[in-house]
Amino acid sequence: MTVAILEAVNIVKRYGKFIAVNGITLSVMPHTVHSVIGPNGAGKTTLFHALTGAVPINEGSITVDGVVVSHLPGYKRVLKGLTRSFQVTSLFPNLSVHENLRLAAQGRNPVQALHLWRSAESLTAAGETVDILLKRLNLSAVATRAAGELSHGQQRRLEVGMAMAGQPKVILLDEPTSGMGIEDIGDMKRLIHDLREEHTVVLIEHNMDIVMDISDTVTVMQLGQVLVEGKPDEIRNDERVRRAYLGSMTDGDSA
Amino acid sequence: MSIYLLQIINGIGIGMLYFLMSVGLSIIFGLLGFVNFAHGAFFMLGAYICFEISGSALGFWWALILVPLIVGAFAWLTEKFLLRYIYQLPHGFHILLTLGVALVLQEAVIVWWGPIGKEIAPPALLEGVVVLGSFVYPIYRLFVIAFTALMALLLWWLLDGTRLGSIVRAGSESTEMVSLLGININRIISLIFTLGTGIAGMAGALAAPIRGAEPFMGVEALGIAFVVVVTGGMGSFGGALGGGLLIGIVQSLMSTIWPEGAHLMIYVAMAAVMLLRPSGLFGRG
Amino acid sequence: MNLLTHYRYTLLAIATVLLLPVMLSSGSLATEVLIFALASLGCNLLLGYTGLMSFGQGIFLGLGSYTAGLSLLHMRVPLLVALLAAMVVGAVAAAAVGWLSIRRRGIYFALLTLALGQMFYFLAYTLKDITGGDNGLLNIPRPQLSVFNTTLLPTATQWQYYGFVALVFVVAFTLIQRVADSVLGRTLLAIRDNETRAAAIGYNVKLFKLIAFTISGAITGLAGALYAILIGVAPLSSIEYQASESILIMTVIGGTGNLFASVLGAGLYVLAGDWLSTLWPRWLMLLGILLIVVSLYMQKGLWGLGAQLIDRLKPRRAPRDPSAVKRKQNP
């Protein structure tokens, strides 16, 4: 029985009297794509923020590959192997694509970035990672363009690429296909699916098509708690899930 | 009556003036999300225009009416021809442009009126003092308290009780939403900027018989406005009022207890609030 | 050829230093240009590289002046020691100011630096026994540059002192340029572009900002020290709000895209101020108008304007992407 690589146990997050996340336990197995879905207001985003360290949790624990990260600030979780992408594209718009990825790759070893006399190019490890990534993301052609000038689809791929560059154990993707056109979505699906080989992926998505297609496990949330969890086929046919969504389920576009 | 009580009354007077001077800055920040570094310069302009008009045949009372209109007109022009073009730029440029405007206004005032400060006499009706216990208190300052209180009520009614007010309050939450409701947000922005800055000009006119008019009073006023707005709470009427009164009273008391420290105290207060309770003492969270 | 492009900004700095004596007749004016160029460099490191608009640079300028003044007056230290002491004090003060201010972002950060600046001003004004209060520290000596009682460089006359300051300036510029080009500098640029993203990929943003502050404080302190030694006085005005404002204005007018631009901005400010103020005492109005123009049309400052003009004059080539980061060709 394999051990979960990301273990969130009994996470509680309160905003005053409102309990956004009410005792969620999530076990993510290594080298899987684990999706978290649920109607609006289910608490997915808050859970996501709790996992990335953007909001502090009131109760519970988060462990990555055996290491407790529950109260570490976001930037420290990267060193423990946890990276994220953003739902609203958040790149370095004035820097080149190559530089964006180099920074992300260097972020795995941020102490090196403190050297005020060494050039970035002399830290070759990051540079090699970047070249490989550029090919994989199909962005080699635009490597020297400013990230802000890319097409939306290219930017979304770069978003995922930034999360990959830090050689993480677990990648948290926040609606990676948001706003993407049909052709780009296909590429993104393949990219995420292939990530399983070297990493583990936790995905928040509204696009059911993608969720059902590429997930190994699906967790459905409702009102801050886990409603049901299982393989995509089980979830698709689950009566409780249908009732929970009741009209807010989307089928191709993001909500 | 003890000296402390007198200083508190004094502080309330100064505080109300500070409120009037700062409320525009606060609301403009709430609505536009930008800080007007020329706000103090418009305050100064108000004092000078008051000097000009009250020294003419029209007299002080006309000055009080005309100054906010004239300063408001300058503000309207500034927004229309300069500020409007930089809203979308990073905040740094808002600061720099308004700094530039402040410099231009300051130097223009020196060109027109000379570098030496001017004195303005209070109107005949308000000259003299009133006896409070063993102290005397200038009638003009009592007038200032009463007048600013009236203005405060007027403003509060405007913000709370009118449609325009609810638009302003809504706009400070989301300008996008407001424009989606079909309201011409540009006109609202222009109106608010004109109004808020005109009020600062009026504060300058009111302050003129007390402090005179002097080219560098704009920089000092800006500093105090920042302190008031930050300690009270940015973007909030109540914040400007509470902050103004607090700073006015503290300054007044300090001038008896430790005069040199008055200037320091208000900046320490500002830094403390920013570090410990950034939403301000009286503002909404 | 690669070496030339690699060091082109340092070469520009050296060219400036050689050009000033040719252009100007006053040694002390030329020295002032270099001194404020240093202060502007310090400000640019924060603004152009880290995205931090600091209204507190006067703190470090003033502290640098006072430190140099005190150490030369009361402890008779050698010239370089006075400069070093000023840099250390500037760095420490900046670390403290930075540590407090960095806790907030945007306009709150700027206002915090402003408030802290006012507090330091108050301290300088009140501690008259140490700082000389309103009058400042007077009669600051100007020792020669000497090591073990052998004079390496005389500093007595205007132009001799200029020579010394020019040396310091070129060395400082080269070092700062090196820092800006280093992996640290690139990380600062990323923080300026998108702080949240920088944190999300693993960087301790607060630490990087603090380092930028400390370096900025050291350079600005150095400028303050050189200034006090130039005029023989450590004035209160160096630590006043107006000083912080002026340094910020110089930096912006020069342009925040590039370190050498700060030299341009400082040069314009100091020279225009000197020249125009004799013609028309209200020259600050022109400065105000320039600020407005820069904010509206020339956000990249004089340097940006120059770059645009040069691009237009160049023979037609395949258009270079202006916003891609320049990738250094490794020798």
Tell me the pairing of strands A225-230 and A217-222: antiparallel
DSSP run (H or E) holding B119: none
Interface test with C, best of A79, A92, A174 (most C CBs within 10 A): A92
Query: How many domains does chain B contain in total?
Result: 1
Q: Which residue has the tokens 């009463």?
A: B146
Show the tokens assigned to A253.
């576009």
Count of other CB atoms within 10 angstroms of residue A193: 16
Count of other CB atoms within 10 angstroms of residue C322: 9
CB contact under 8 A, B99 and C296: no
Cβ–Cβ contact B176 with C under 8 A? no
* Pairwise CA distance, residues C310 & B247, whole Å: 53
What pLDDT, on the 0 to 100 scale, is given for residue A224? 86
**Higher pLDDT residue, B80 or A208?**
B80
CB contact under 8 A, C193 and A118: no
Cβ–Cβ contact C141 with B under 8 A? no
**Size of chain C in residues:** 331
Contact partners, residue A243, CB within 8 Å, separation at least 6: none
C208: closest chain A residue by CA: A114
B282, part of any domain: no
In chain A, what's the furthest Cα-to-Cα distance? 62
B284, part of any domain: no
Show the tokens assigned to A22.
């009410």
**Nearest 10 degrees: CA dihedral of A147, A151, A155, A161?**
-90
Q: Are A221 and A22 in contact (CB under 8 A)?
A: no
Q: Are C61 and C223 in contact (CB under 8 A)?
A: yes
> Tens of pLDDT along C61-81?
999 999 999 999 998 888 999
* Pairwise CA distance, residues B6 & B254, whole Å: 13
CB contact under 8 A, A96 and C182: no
Cβ–Cβ contact C26 with B under 8 A? no
**Higher pLDDT residue, A34 or B279?**
A34
Count of other CB atoms within 10 angstroms of residue B212: 14
Q: Are C131 and C115 in contact (CB under 8 A)?
A: no
Q: Are C11 and C215 in contact (CB under 8 A)?
A: no
What pLDDT, on the 0 to 100 scale, is given for residue B285? 42
CA distance C268 to chain A (A): 28
Interface test with C, best of B275, B276, B277, B279 (most C CBs within 10 A): B275
CB contact under 8 A, A92 and C202: no
Which among C186, C193, C202 has the least Cβ separation from residue A79?
C202
Q: State yes or no: chains B and A have 3 or more CB pairs below 8 A.
A: no
A25, part of any domain: yes
Cβ–Cβ contact C228 with A under 8 A? no
**DSSP class per residue in C277-323:** HHH-TTHHHHHHHHHHHHHHH-TTHHHHHHHHHHHHHSPP-SPP-TT
* Pairwise CA distance, residues C68 & B260, whole Å: 27
Burial readout B219-249 (b: 16 or more C-beta within 10 A, e: otherwise)? bbbbbbbbbbbbbbbbbbbbbbbbbbbbbbb
Cβ–Cβ contact C296 with B under 8 A? yes
Residue range C2-252, CATH number: 1.10.3470
B263 contacts on C by Cβ (under 8 Å): 118, 122
A94 contacts on C by Cβ (under 8 Å): 193, 323, 325
Q: Which domain holds residue A255?
A: 1-70+204-255
C215 contacts on A by Cβ (under 8 Å): 116
Among candidates C214, C158, C243, C195, which has minimal Cα distance to C51? C195
A169, part of any domain: no
* Pairwise CA distance, residues C191 & C186, whole Å: 9
CB contact under 8 A, B274 and C295: no
Query: How many domains does chain A contain in total?
Result: 1
CB contact under 8 A, A98 and C327: yes
Show the tokens assigned to A172.
């948290």
Q: Which residue has the tokens 């631009």?
A: C261
C117: closest chain B residue by CA: B267
Among candidates B126, A101, B203, which has minimal Cα distance to C190? A101
CATH of the domain at A64: 3.40.50.300
A178, part of any domain: no
A212, part of any domain: yes
Segment 130-169 of chain B within 8 Å of chain C by CB = none
* Pairwise CA distance, residues C212 & C219, whole Å: 11
Strand partners, A6: A28, A64
Q: C106-126 and C79-101 are packed helices; what angle lies between their axes, rounded to 10 degrees?
A: 130
A233, part of any domain: yes
B281, part of any domain: no
Segment 78-117 of chain B within 8 Å of chain C by CB = 82, 85-86, 89, 91-93, 95-97, 99-104, 106-108, 110-111
Cβ–Cβ contact C292 with B under 8 A? yes
* Pairwise CA distance, residues C163 & A39, whole Å: 72
Going B83 to B87 to B93 to B95, the CA torsion angle's sign is positive
C116 contacts on B by Cβ (under 8 Å): 267, 271
Show the tokens assigned to B160.
């709370």
Tabulate helix, strand, coil % of chain A (nearest 5).
Answer: 40, 25, 35
User: Chains with 3 or more CB pairs closer than 8 angstroms to C?
Assistant: A, B
* Pairwise CA distance, residues A150 & C331, whole Å: 30
A31, part of any domain: yes
CA B70 to chain centre: 16
Contact partners, residue B270, CB within 8 Å, separation at least 6: B226, B227, B230, B231, C111, C115
What pLDDT, on the 0 to 100 scale, is given for residue C197? 94
CB contact under 8 A, A103 and C193: no
Contact partners, residue B58, CB within 8 Å, separation at least 6: B66
B267 contacts on C by Cβ (under 8 Å): 115-116, 118-119, 122
What pLDDT, on the 0 to 100 scale, is given for residue B173? 62
**Size of chain A in residues:** 255
Among candidates A23, A25, A32, which has minimal Cα distance to A5? A32
B223 contacts on C by Cβ (under 8 Å): 114, 118, 241
- Ramachandran region, residue A55 (left: φ > 0; alpha: ψ -120 to 50; beta: rest): beta
Which among A74, A118, A149 has the least Cβ separation from residue C199?
A74
Show the tokens assigned to C172.
């400082």
What pLDDT, on the 0 to 100 scale, is given for residue C244? 95
CB contact under 8 A, C183 and A119: yes
The pLDDT profile of chain C, 331 residues, written as one tens digit per residue, is 466 666 788 889 999 999 999 988 888 999 999 999 999 999 999 999 999 999 999 999 999 999 999 999 998 888 999 999 999 999 999 999 999 999 998 888 999 999 999 999 999 998 888 888 888 899 888 888 877 777 778 888 889 999 999 999 999 999 999 999 999 999 999 999 999 999 999 999 999 999 999 999 999 999 999 999 999 999 999 999 999 999 999 999 999 888 999 999 999 999 988 988 888 888 889 989 999 999 998 888 888 888 888 888 876 555 554 444 444 333 3
The yes-or-no verdict on residue A244 having pLDDT over 70 is: yes
CA distance A249 to chain C (A): 30
Strand partners, B136: B131
Mean pLDDT for chain A? Answer: 87
Burial of B181 (0-12, 13-18, 19+ CB in 10 A): exposed
B100 contacts on C by Cβ (under 8 Å): 287-292, 295
B283, part of any domain: no
Among candidates B193, B282, B276, B195, which has minimal Cα distance to B237? B282
* Pairwise CA distance, residues A49 & A46, whole Å: 5
CATH of the domain at B176: 1.10.3470
CB contact under 8 A, B275 and C111: no
**Per-domain residue ranges of chain C:** 2-252
A81: closest chain C residue by CA: C202
What pLDDT, on the 0 to 100 scale, is given for residue C316? 59
* Pairwise CA distance, residues B191 & B165, whole Å: 11
CA distance A183 to chain C (A): 27
Give this complex's ipTM: 0.89
CB contact under 8 A, A78 and C327: no
Show the tokens assigned to C199.
């944190």
B95 contacts on C by Cβ (under 8 Å): 53, 107, 110
* Residue C123 CA: distances (Å) to CA of B40, C126, C133: 25, 5, 9
CB contact under 8 A, A146 and C323: yes
A127, part of any domain: no
Q: Hey, what amino acid is at B252?
A: S
CA distance B96 to chain C (A): 6
CB contact under 8 A, C112 and B104: no
DSSP-derived 3-state class of residue A59? strand
Q: Are C98 and C214 in contact (CB under 8 A)?
A: yes
Q: Which domain holds residue B178?
A: 3-276
Burial of C297 (0-12, 13-18, 19+ CB in 10 A): exposed
B114: closest chain C residue by CA: C282
Mean pLDDT by 10-residue block, N- to C-terminus, for chain B (285 residues)? 79 92 88 85 95 87 92 94 86 89 94 89 82 80 90 87 75 65 78 92 93 90 92 85 91 84 86 87 65
**DSSP class per residue in B166-226:** HHHHHHTT-HHHHHHTT--HHHHHHHHHHHHHHHHHHHHHHHHHHH-B-TTHHHHHHHHHH
First to last CA, chain A: 37
What single DSSP character describes residue B155? Answer: H
Alpha helices (H) in C45-182, listed in sequence order? 57-74, 79-101, 106-126, 128-131, 158-181
Q: Hey, what amino acid is at B180?
A: L
DSSP-derived 3-state class of residue B71? helix
**Torsion angles phi and psi, residue A37, rounded to 5:** -125, 175
What pLDDT, on the 0 to 100 scale, is given for residue A161? 92
CB contact under 8 A, A145 and C321: yes
Which among C182, C193, C328 has the least Cβ separation from residue A94?
C193
**Higher pLDDT residue, A252 or B201?**
B201
Strand partners, A217: A34
DSSP-derived 3-state class of residue A26? strand
**Torsion angles phi and psi, residue A217, rounded to 5:** -135, 145
Segment 54-73 of chain C within 8 Å of chain A by CB = none
A73 contacts on C by Cβ (under 8 Å): 199
**DSSP class per residue in A214-255:** H-SEEEEEETTEEEEEE-HHHHHT-HHHHHHHTT---SSS--
Among candidates A252, A200, A194, A248, which has minimal Cα distance to A221? A248
What pLDDT, on the 0 to 100 scale, is given for residue B174? 63
Q: How many CA atoms lie within 13 A of A224 on its CB side?
A: 12
Cα-based angle B166, B171, B176 (whole degrees, multiple of 5): 135
What pLDDT, on the 0 to 100 scale, is given for residue B263? 81
B263: closest chain C residue by CA: C122
Q: Are C285 and B104 in contact (CB under 8 A)?
A: yes
The yes-or-no verdict on residue A121 having pLDDT over 70 is: yes
Tell me the pairing of strands A33-37 and A217-222: parallel
Q: Are A20 and A14 in contact (CB under 8 A)?
A: yes
Q: Hey, what amino acid is at A247?
A: G
pLDDT band at A252 (very low <50, low <70, confident <90, very high): very low
* Mean pLDDT across A61-69: 92
B97: closest chain C residue by CA: C292
The yes-or-no verdict on residue A214 having pLDDT over 70 is: yes
* Pairwise CA distance, residues B118 & B195, whole Å: 26
